[in-house]
Amino acid sequence: MPELLAAGGWGLLAGSALLGGALLGYLARIPAWLVAAVMAFGSGVLLSAVSFELIAEAHERGGLVATAAGALAGAVAYTLANVVLARRGARHRKRSGDQQPSEAEQSGSGTAIALGALLDGVPESMVIGTSLLGGGSVSAVTVAAVFISNVPEGLSSASGMRRAGRSARYVFALWAGIALISGAAAMLGYGLLGGVPGPALAAITALAGGAILAMIADTMIPEAFEGAHLWNGIITVTGFLTAFALSHL
């Protein structure tokens, strides 16, 4: 039970960065180039965490076949769900400009955006819970990577929601809810997968990694490139190296 609660606490901590970023994005007028730069940095951090904390760990536990199968399954599942939500108005849910549709322009887009935010956040939180399996401590790098990447995600998305005319009540209720669900997802990751054999756990870990990689490519990199342009690469690499350095402290 203490470990289960700890998993929920770490997941909630990482998820709370979404709400913090949303507060900044909705209440402050942050320049588009700065939003893009922070998003690029967060993308690099998350790419590093997926590479060295998830995919590498899955490979060590279950080998190449289980890892590759899990990662591809995660990417396919995320992409299919994202396609459905994109057609209902959630395509630009992490964009900070005028790309997001208002409810008047596309009815039901608010619900689609909320479901999209949930789709983006759950895999990240579940891997925080699974990192506690085996009696070890939580992966500080994974928590830090998810926390850091969640700030620009919430910031950019809330900024776009404000431009689309969505109310503060909608925005903050959405991100507060996602933060709470992040804690619950981390608890599920720990509670449901505790007795799973090594190869199966490796595939599940890789599945989450594949879903996160697809999310980065589909929702974070486009926003980062839109504003950072030629600086996007070096900022992303800086974020990648930051997380890599943290993993070796």
The model's pTM is 0.86
Residues 6+ apart with CB under 8 A from 62: 70, 198, 199, 200, 201, 202, 203, 206
Closest CA to 148 of 24, 239, 64, 75: 239
CA separation for the pair 95, 146 (Å, rounded): 19
pLDDT at res. 34: 87
Least reliable range by pLDDT among 23-32, 127-136, 175-184, 238-247: 127-136
In the predicted model, is pLDDT for residue 180 greater than 90?
Answer: yes
**Alpha carbon separation from 49 to 87, 103, 180, 204, 212 (Å, rounded):** 30, 35, 22, 16, 10
Domain count, the chain: 1
pLDDT at res. 19: 92
pLDDT at res. 235: 94
pLDDT band at 28; cut points 50, 70, 90: confident
In the predicted model, is pLDDT for residue 135 greater than 60?
Answer: no
pLDDT at res. 156: 86
pLDDT at res. 217: 92
Residue 93 contacts residue 164 (beta carbons within 8 Å): no
pLDDT band at 146; cut points 50, 70, 90: confident
Q: What percent of the chain has pLDDT over 70?
A: 97
CA separation for the pair 227, 180 (Å, rounded): 31
Least reliable range by pLDDT among 30-44, 136-150, 166-180, 212-226: 136-150
pLDDT at res. 77: 95
Range of the domain at 222: 2-246
In the predicted model, is pLDDT for residue 139 greater than 90?
Answer: no
Residues 6+ apart with CB under 8 A from 142: 49, 53, 54, 127, 128, 131
Q: Average the pLDDT over 65-80 and give the result.
A: 94
Closest CA to 224 of 24, 31, 43: 43
pLDDT at res. 40: 92
